Chains A and B, each alone.
Chain A
Amino acid sequence: MGKYIVKRILLAILTVLIICAITFFLMHAVPGGPFNREKALSEATINALNARYGLDKPVGVQFLLYMKGILHGDFGVSLKNGREIAAIIGESFPISARLGIMAMIVALLLGTVFGSTAALMRNKLPDRVIVFFSTLFTAVPSFVLATLLLLVFCIRLGWVPVWSPKNQSYVLPVIALSAYPMAYITRLSKTSMLDALSQDYIRTAKAKGVSRFKMIFKHALRNSLIPVITYAGPQIAYIITGSMVIETIFTVGGLGSKFVSAINNRDYTLIMATTIFLAVLMVVANVICDLLYKLVDPRIKYE
């Protein structure tokens, strides 16, 4: 186990390094420097600015300097408004994190409940309804769902204000963000519940006369949850990219919408910093999920 953990963490560190390198060198491949303005600056000014920000050094050295800065929590400044990127991330990330965690909890909870219900009532009406909706929701892009929710509940019915940092404003974004993972988890937990129900230990439990309630919750459900954990890692990645769209639509001032506007403004330093930040987040989440998975299910061998 210890060897596996070390190996997994080393791979994660390598991944993070590769991501940083890709991001940095890609952003440096973009034509035009940060000081290209409509009104051309004098050569002396540009040279002075380049020296000030270390842009006169070779690219490799710039990369090392940038990495050093990141390790010290310094992501540089935004090209468009000159603000500290660390401050931008610091103020917008908590909103995104809150949204993402809520969506994740909703998706996991409702997904397993729906999936298990469908498995237990196989081929009955609830199963069919759940299967219908989960198939439907895997085909609806999140931005379509979000825009429709906005149209119906904010504009037509006026039940919810579009966005204010109050709790009830989170309702629609959370629904929109969790719909796809919820549908996916429903399908996943249905198959794994069916799988668990056909195992020998369920038959043994039944033969011993264990009550149906205890059989479902103690024996079947606990074992059917294992594959769901594996999916939680990729799902965090989905929620992070999904939140870009959802936050833009609901004008939530989170990191996702900041990222989208940075893309549209071609604010390269902000794009670079946000990409690295989110990528590290995803990699860490994946490592945790992998380790949890191994921890929960002792049948899985460590590679």
Chain B
Amino acid sequence: MSTVSKDPPKKHLLSAQIDLSKFSAAQFEAATEEEKRQQDVMSESTTFFKDGMRKLFKNPLAVGSLIVLACIILTIVIAPMIVPYRYEEILSVDGKRDKGAKNLAPFTYSQMEQKYIDNGGERFPHIFGTDEQCRDYFIRVVYGTRISLSVGFFASIIVLIIGMLYGSISGYLGGRVDLIMMRIVDIIYSLPDMLIIILLKVVLDERLQFPSGSFLNKLGTSMVSLFIVFGLLYWVGMARLVRGQILSIKENEYILAARSIGASPARIIRKHILPNCLSVIIISTALQIPSAIFTESFLSFVGIGVKAPMPSLGSLANAARAGLQSYPYKLIFPAIMICLIVLSLNLLGDGLRDAFDPKLRR
């Protein structure tokens, strides 16, 4: 401790500081609660995430798409519990096959069903009618939406994982490793993806075999090969993005600080770099989902998507072409579903970008 002098420090001639020794305690009065609160001008502390969410919820388009998506997801979760039909079930009344229930218009019954209802039986309405194989069309569209959405979602997750690992390793290590890894990415990037996807899908559908009873077998070869195809080709964009982010983040001082106290590269990537490029990754994942859904519906349309009797929105729309002249609504329902999903995901992705991308911050 240094010595404390008893004299007050000498005041500067121009200092505006109040000399407290000239006042006594009686001349002061305590501030009331209200006055104290007036001083309290600090706004609520906000995190990056909270701030982004607030911006997102101010964007009417993004909120609208969130609501639409929530409605669609609720429907596809709840509807199979309420509707008594299954997607591959051929309609039957009282255990007898109902041959008249072919291509019914929405909310109509076949003759057999009508008779059954007249006799006091209850029959769940066919909300979207039935298809040419006497199956309830509403439940098929619901399952098709389920499959298309989950394909989009899981494909994006696969792309995210592979791309993030590859990009972060390449970007962090840098140097020759980075050069070689990025050359590989360049080559895959320059391949015409759609053609290779079609080719891979054709071959994988023939080649893949899983032991019966396993999870993969239950999922079906066509679904698994779809995921493999996405995983093999679409990660390059993500890898490039992550690498670019990491290259710019790597130069920051806090990375140097972490390295100087002996943090391992894995820890630096996990704890310091990834959280900082998270927003960009989330946005591009959100925008990846609709493009995966598009690709899936394209493949289903060409005839190499998910296998019948499993429906997807693309295969439903494709099947509807056969009876287009007489039953146009069969095209309209899955088509509207695809458009709604893709549109709302696109708008949500745009909203996320506006809310979370620091580069757009003013």
Contact = CB atoms under 8 A, between A and B. Distances in A.
Partners in one complex: yes
A207 interface: no
Interface stretch (A40-48, A66-74, A169-177, A276-284): A276-284
B187 A136 contact: no
A61 interface: no
Nearest to B301: A143
Nearest to B343: A139
B292 interface: no
Given A135-B343, A144-B317, A245 B302 contact: yes
Contacts of B343: 135-136, 139
B192 A155 contact: no
Given A22-B199, A135-B343, A141-B298, A151 B328 contact: yes
A144 B324 CA distance: 12
Interface in A222-270: 237, 240-241, 244-245, 248-249, 260, 263-264, 266
B324 A283 contact: no
Interface string B179-207: 00000001100111111101110110011
B224 interface: no
A282 to B, nearest CB: 4
B195 A279 contact: yes
B159 interface: no
A129 interface: no
A210 interface: no
A288 to B, nearest CB: 14
A30 B190 CA distance: 25
A73 to B, nearest CB: 20
A18 B346 CA distance: 33
Nearest to B183: A11
A78 B31 CA distance: 94
Interface residues of A, number: 44
Given A139-B342, A139-B343, A155-B325, A278 B192 contact: yes
B324 A155 contact: yes
Contacts of B320: 147
B174 interface: no
B297 interface: yes
A144 B303 contact: no
A144 B192 contact: no
Interface stretch (B2-10, B119-127, B331-339): B331-339
Contacts of B314: 141, 143
A141 B202 contact: no
Given A147-B331, A271-B199, A245 B298 contact: yes
B206 A30 contact: yes
Given A141-B298, A143-B298, A263 B304 contact: yes
B304 to A, nearest CB: 6
A135 B347 contact: yes
Contact of A275 (B198, B297, B301): B198
Contacts of B290: 139
Contact of B303 (A29, A147, A260): A260
B344 to A, nearest CB: 8
B289 to A, nearest CB: 12
A182 B178 CA distance: 37
A263 B317 contact: no
B274 to A, nearest CB: 28
Contacts of A12: 190
Contact of A241 (B203, B298, B339): B298
B206 A26 contact: no
A296 interface: no
A18 B191 contact: yes
Contact of A283 (B192, B206, B297): B192
A27 B303 contact: no
Interface in B290-340: 290, 294, 297-298, 301-304, 314, 317-318, 320-321, 324-325, 328, 331, 335, 338-339
Contacts of B303: 260, 263-264
A70 to B, nearest CB: 16
A96 interface: no
Nearest to A12: B190
- Interface hub of A139, A244, A260, A279 (most chain B Cβ within 10 A): A139
A220 interface: no
Given A144-B317, A144-B338, A237 B194 contact: yes
Contacts of A140: 339, 342
B317 A147 contact: yes
B206 A31 contact: yes
A286 interface: yes
B138 to A, nearest CB: 19
A209 B46 CA distance: 48
A143 B302 CA distance: 10
A148 B332 CA distance: 9
B190 A11 contact: yes
Contacts of A150: 324
Query: Top 4 A-B pairs ranked by shortest CB distance?
Result: A139-B343, A241-B194, A139-B342, A144-B335
Given A143-B297, A150-B324, A282-B195, 8 more contacts: A12-B190, A14-B187, A26-B200, A138-B342, A144-B338, A241-B195, A245-B302, A283-B190
20 contacts: A15-B190, A19-B191, A19-B195, A19-B196, A23-B199, A30-B203, A135-B343, A135-B347, A141-B297, A141-B298, A147-B321, A155-B324, A237-B192, A237-B193, A237-B194, A241-B194, A245-B298, A271-B199, A275-B199, A278-B195
Interface of A: 11-12, 14-15, 18-19, 22-23, 26-27, 29-31, 135-136, 138-141, 143-144, 147-148, 150-151, 155, 237, 240-241, 244-245, 248-249, 260, 263-264, 266, 271, 275, 278-279, 282-283, 286
